Structure 1
């Protein structure tokens, strides 16, 4: 742990904890600091990562859950009902991660800014911005290399020959020579951090926009460091309105959520708001319950065929009036829903206490590792459990994933019912090992990089350049 002395104040740098995640928070024992009770953020992160896993399971083997019913004339299944459909249809997890990026990255600089220690705030921003890329890139690259090695040994063959269309789509097809695969590896590393494409594990697509979102937070904090808190809130709102009208891909999932996280992070230091929350429990409930219910209903908007049900058809028509044209309505509704639900959590101490329980905190600690490894584990280990290890028998020569043929069928329902819980347990076991060893190793590399590249801490501030001052005459 590293400390920096600035303006007679020891500031704790939240990104230097080796065992925390690149988008995680710390828990300093500073009286009155909202970061003392920020554990709910880790619990929310744990739920988000688990929802990502459930979403990919549904996408792989029950894609009809993404629609309000199996077909236009079918009776909806229970898991396709509003609210109950949320865990299976996707979009929630990554949106929460983007909000957490804005919230956590802004906590320490805003605290120092409000205390008048702008020098310490700028130091925190500079060091956090330096650490952010390696803390994301190092572990993601290790996961890339592991997936690449697995692919070279034929680990994805079963997925490519299974009757799971999404597994076939997401599993890599090898080049016709090992030399081409060697060239393909650095190309995939480059594309992961330039275009978001990674052939060996397409779940890494979100890492680049998350990294860019964190840089947006640091730039905004630097630009508004001397702005009064009230005007800074107006700037946040203006940025959110800008990203709302922007029809660019995923702007509502990342940029808008990062700014919203900054907004709530700033509000967490507002003494008047904190006093109101503590002194008006009835008012809190009158506010949080409607926010939660409306948010859950909005989050239920189906990703596929919203025209197949009356309730989703109404949302489809309404979306054309409240969102810009030619946007992904599913992602837009999800972003709006997440904002309402998190606002309800922000106003509810009981919700924060629930999110701070030990199980959710443990899940949150493993969330980044789960995100990195679960895709390869799904298309390799789980496919072995559900289809067999050999990938045989398979009719016809090897071909592209969209060929029409008899793919390897899924095993019996009882095998599926046993395999999926066992596989989830195995994912979290490996994630715990990853967090304890790989993530700590990457944090150590980041610290060594920092010590090698940073200048020595100055004990006294550098003098300002001399300016010409006209002499006064008497």
Structure 2
């Protein structure tokens, strides 16, 4: 029997089918995960710490919201209760929905909690070998986990800059026409090679954990090298206090927190506050396990009335301190008193009280599950899954879209009245938010999750 070779038409047809199949897979990959129904995900139980991810997701989204609106507004930075400070967005606690810096402080505490929970549990169980393995893995993978997705996204920004997509935003940044604040934009070079050299240089110095600089390709990435530096210091602190008795460990961590604030390292102090909060959460879990081991059939009541009231008060107090105004706090009711009692060593009462507010808020949330529940809802948890990608993509997208969308909608709504001005901003934000969330979803699957897998693979490959 003769075997006939496939004809050219058959080979062409096979190649076409392969191309179409590849194209379809690519299109399917671009579909956001929230549009994909996965029955298996509905069967997964919500973890007791899911609210941490949800809070991180909400914080990341509100940081994006702030970076969008502050290009067209200024009032949110000013204190409420002073001359010109009577707008609803300036009201304490309400202003947090329109602020950015307080949520960065929340990020720092959350990082401290997330990175400390497992080592603290192991240390309290005296599993010293596992403590060492955990710390080795955390230190080895941390830089890869943080930097690989950033470099991937920034490479896309480089190509967009070379293609001229940021020409309009760069021109506007030289003479900002809106009422808010502009941001650094990529300096446009004459050739692609010079643009690459400039991008590489700015990327290297912006990711320096010892002396980070804001990159004109995305000024918001200044937090990433600080996250790396403070994470490594936190790991060292975890090792240093691992074998201390729990009570002494908490006192040492508290003393380190105070010291960090006095020497103007409040961001690092928040990581340490997160470590203390992680131990607090582990203690609560141990109390629950002990109570259920004595009476398994009993209904465990983790929150007596006194502790519930204390947590509610602490939560409200924390949010109020997080609302410390950036400008004119010296004239604001209550905040001016707090500023007066700020130690003279502290150069920024604003930063100190916001940082204290972040720590108090997290401790209060950790102590009362009712406060945690809104942050464990599906939407919050989804935002938590894409929170890192959302943070690293929202700046470049905002530079492209906000300056186009807002003027477009102003032509429809008008901007001469407060209603028309704000409606144009709101409509533009809705469109941009949909784009940012969708892109963040893709980046999570394309870069973020693979970077986690790669760092684990590399650790296993290189380990003894």
- The alignment's TM-score, normalised by the length of structure 1, stands at 0.77
Contact preservation (8 Å) 1:158, 1:384: no
Q: Specify the SS of the correspondent of 2:92.
A: coil
CA shift for structure 1 position 371:
0.3
Change (3 A) 1:333 1:271: closer
Q: 1:367 aligns with which of 365, 387, 396?
A: 387
Task: Give the superposition deviation at 1:39.
Answer: 0.7
Q: Is the 8 A contact 1:103 1:264 kept in 2?
A: yes
Q: Give a deviation string over 1:185-229, Cα, whole Å, max 9, x none.
A: 221221122132222001110001111111112111111222111
Alpha-carbon distance in structure 2 between the residues aligned to 1:301 and 1:362 = 29
**Corresponding residue to 1:184 among 193, 198, 202:** 198
Does residue 260 of the first structure (1) align with residue 277 of the second (2)? no
- Is 2:447 aligned against 1:438? yes
Please tell me whether residue 429 in structure 1 is matched to residue 445 in structure 2. Answer: no
Contact 1:267 1:273 in 2 (8 A): no
Query: How far apart, CA to CA, are the structure 1 residues paired with 2:63 and 2:443?
Result: 18
User: Which string of whole-angstrom CA distances, capped at 9 and with x for unpartnered residues, describes residues 150-206 of structure 1?
Assistant: 122222222232524766432222134433222112212211221322220011100
Partner in structure 2 of residue 8 of structure 1: none
Which among 116, 120, 123 is matched to residue 110 of structure 1? 120
Cα deviation for residue 148 of structure 1 reads 1.6
Residues 1:82 and 2:92 are matched in the alignment = yes
| In the alignment, structure 1 residue 40 sits paired with structure 2 residue 86 | no
Equivalent residues of 1:246, 1:324 under 8 A apart: no
Q: Tell me, in whole angstroms, the C-alpha distance in 2 between the residues paired with 1:381 and 1:282.
A: 49
Aligned to 1:281: 304
Q: How big is the shift at 1:131?
A: 0.6
**Aligned pair partner of 1:302 in 325, 335, 347:** 325
List alignment gaps of at least 5 residues for structure 1.
1-18, 20-34, 389-410, 456-474
* Distance in 2, Cα, partners of 1:64 & 1:167: 11
Partner residue in 2 for 1:64: 75
Find the residue that maps to 2:115 and give its secondary structure. helix
Q: How does 1:91-170 map to 2 (within 5 A)?
A: 91-160=101-170, 161=172, 163-164=177-178, 168-170=182-184
Which of 412, 415, 419 lines up with 2:428 in the alignment? 419
1:452 shift after superposition = 3.5
Higher mean displacement: 159-168 or 206-215: 159-168
Q: Partners of 1:216 and 1:435 in 2: how far apart?
A: 27
Q: Which residue of 2 aligns with 1:199?
A: 216
Query: Relative to structure 1, is the Cα distance of residues 178 and 286 closer, same or farther in structure 2, using a 3 angstrom cutoff?
Result: same
Q: Which residue of 1 aligns with 2:404?
A: 384
Aligned residues: CA RMSD:
2.6
- 2: CA distance between counterparts of 1:418 and 1:271? 44
Residue deviations 1:13-32 (CA, integer Å, cap 9, x gap): xxxxxx9xxxxxxxxxxxxx
Given that 1:89 and 1:302 are in contact with CA atoms closer than 8 Å, whether structure 2 keeps it comes out as: no
SS at match of 2:373: helix
1:230-379 map, 5 Å: 230-247=247-264, 251-252=265-266, 254-270=267-283, 274-275=287-288, 278-307=301-330, 309-311=331-333, 314-379=334-399
What is the match of residue 397 of structure 1?
none
Structure with more helix by fraction = 2
Distance 1:180 1:147 in 2: 15
Q: Which consecutive residues of structure 2, in runs of 5 or more, have no partner in the other structure? A: 1-32, 34-45, 292-299, 409-419
- Aligned 8 A contact 2:71 2:182 in 1: no
Cα distance in 1, alignment partners of residues 374 and 183 from structure 2: 38
How far 1:412 moved relative to its partner? 6.5
What do the CA deviations read for 1:377-423 (whole angstroms, capped 9, x no partner)?
101122222346xxxxxxxxxxxxxxxxxxxxxx9665433221111
Secondary structure of 1:330 counterpart: helix
Give 1:172's aligned residue.
186
Deviation at 1:48, TM superposition (A): 0.8
Residues in 1 aligned to 2:377 and 2:423: alpha-carbon distance in whole angstroms? 32
Q: How many residue pairs were aligned?
A: 393
In structure 2, the CA distance between the partners of 1:232 and 1:440, relative to structure 1 (3 Å rule), is same
- Partners of 1:370 and 1:428 within 8 A in 2: yes
The Cα shift of 1:265 comes to: 0.9
3-state SS of 1:268 partner:
helix
Specify whether residues 414 and 88 from structure 1 end up closer, same or farther in structure 2 by C-alpha distance, changes over 3 A only.
closer
The residue that corresponds to 2:36 in the other structure is: none
Describe the superposition over 1:278-326 as per-residue Cα deviations: whole angstroms up to 9, x where unpaired: 454311222022212222222222112224x541xx4235324233435
State the TM-score, normalized to the length of structure 2.
0.79
